[in-house]
Amino acid sequence: IKPSEMTPLSATLARSLLLESGLDPNLVSVVHGAGDAGAELIRHVDYIGFTGGTTTGRHVAVAASERLLPYSLELGGKNPMIVLQGASLGDAATGLLAGAFSNSGQTCISVERVYVQESIYDEFARRLVEKAANLKIGWSRAWDIDIGSMISKEHSDKVMGRVQLAVDQGARVLAGGRQRPDLGPAFMEPTVLANVSDTMPISKEETFGPVVALYPVRDAADAIARANNSDFGLNASIWAGGIQQAREVARQIETGSAAINSTLLIYNSFDVPMGGVKQSGIGRRHGEHGILRYTQTQSVVSSFSTGGGYDALMLRIKSERMAR
Q: Name every residue whose Cβ is closer than 8 Å to that of residue 151 and which is 6 or more positions away in sequence.
A: 6, 7, 106, 186
Per-residue pLDDT at 319 exceeds 80: no
In this predicted model, what pLDDT tens digit does every residue of 121-157 receive, in sequence order?
Answer: 999 999 999 999 999 999 999 999 999 999 999 999 9
Mean pLDDT (the chain) is 95
From the candidates 5, 20, 66, 74, which is the catalytic residue?
74
Closest CA to 104 of 177, 7, 183, 210: 210
Q: What is the pLDDT of residue 311?
A: 87
**Structure confidence by residue, pLDDT tens digits, 255-282:** 999 999 999 999 999 999 999 999 999 9
Q: Residue 181 has what pLDDT?
A: 97
For residue 310, the 8-state DSSP code is H
Active site annotation includes 288: no
Please give the order of strands across the beta sheet that includes 48-51.
48-51, 71-74, 281-282
pTM over the 0.75 mark: yes
Give me the pLDDT at residue 74, please.
95
Pick the catalytic residue: 20, 66, 108, 189?
108
Residue 108 is among the residues annotated as catalytic for this protein: yes
| Residue pLDDT, tens place only, 165-174 | 999 999 999 9
